[in-house]
């Protein structure tokens, strides 16, 4: 599942940076000439700096794509430093604030907890570069969405890619859905035919394991 979610997160990142949804709409609406002007130029991804907050399984899979697929420099922030990660990806461990200041793409992959709730607020978005993109592929409640709206409205950041929201389904009238530089998907990180089949089989195997009187893998408690 980690690889599948990483595909989706990186897809949202690419879509936001290269403005793919906007350009797709131009083609389908017959506005081909509108794409010639600089107002619809995107941003390069290759060779840029990606900051990953939360270097679990998905975070590492994103780092693999960024480093070896796009030649990106990797910054990361985690609960603890991991020298193996630094060796594999030539990654640099840094503070949360330093990562926000230096990254061209800020990719959030931390789980939701009391500690991480609203960890991205007005102060955090102000630290980011004005040409940086914020990508959230973990949980919506780690972001103060009002602060994100203001950061986008005031052009404190270049755009965002979101697969998760505080309230799901997200309200159709939510301000985040009104920005052309915000790419949104409906919490579908693991939603591929292959991965959902594997998840179903894992659930079935767990039921059979319990019926045999054994302890299942991936138990919640």
Q: Which residues are catalytic?
A: 139, 168, 187
Contacts of 185 (CB under 8 A, 6+ apart): 8, 12, 162, 163
Question: Rounded to whole angstroms, how far apart are CA atoms 131 and 104?
Answer: 7
Question: Rounded to whole angstroms, how far apart are CA atoms 43 and 119?
Answer: 26
Question: Rounded to whole angstroms, how far apart are CA atoms 3 and 64?
Answer: 10
Question: Rounded to whole angstroms, how far apart are CA atoms 200 and 160?
Answer: 32
Length of the chain counted residue by residue: 221
Side-chain half-sphere exposure of 128, counting CA atoms within 13 A: 31
Q: What angle do CA 60, 64, 65 make, to 5 degrees?
A: 120
Single out the residue of 185, 160, 148, 64 nearest to residue 107, CA to CA.
Answer: 160
Helix (H, G, I), strand (E, B) or coil at 212: coil
Question: Rounded to whole angstroms, how far apart are CA atoms 166 and 173?
Answer: 14
């Amino acid at each position: 599942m980690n690889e599948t979610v990483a595909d989706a997160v990186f897809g949202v990142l690419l879509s936001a940076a290269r403005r793919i949804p906007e350009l797709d709409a131009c083609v389908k609406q017959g506005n081909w000439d509108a794409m010639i002007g600089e107002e619809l130029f995107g941003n390069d991804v290759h060779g840029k700096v990606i900051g990953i907050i939360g270097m679990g399984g998905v975070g590492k899979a994103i780092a693999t794509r960024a480093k070896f697929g796009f030649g990106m420099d990797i910054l990361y922030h985690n609960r603890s430093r991991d020298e193996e990660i630094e060796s594999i990806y030539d990654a640099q461990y840094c503070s949360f604030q330093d990562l926000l200041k230096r990254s061209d793409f800020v990719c959030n992959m931390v789980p939701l907890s009391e500690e991480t709730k609203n960890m991205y607020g007005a102060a955090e978005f102000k630290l980011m570069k004005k040409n940086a993109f914020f990508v959230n592929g973990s949980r919506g409640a780690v972001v103060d969405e009002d602060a994100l709206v203001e950061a986008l409205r005031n052009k404190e950041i270049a755009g965002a890619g979101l697969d998760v929201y505080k309230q799901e389904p997200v309200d159709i009238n939510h301000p985040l859905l009104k920005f052309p530089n915000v790419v949104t998907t409906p919490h579908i990180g693991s939603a591929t035919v292959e991965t959902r089949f594997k998840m179903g089989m894992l659930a079935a195997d767990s039921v059979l394991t319990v019926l045999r009187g054994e302890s299942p893998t991936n138990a919640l408690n």
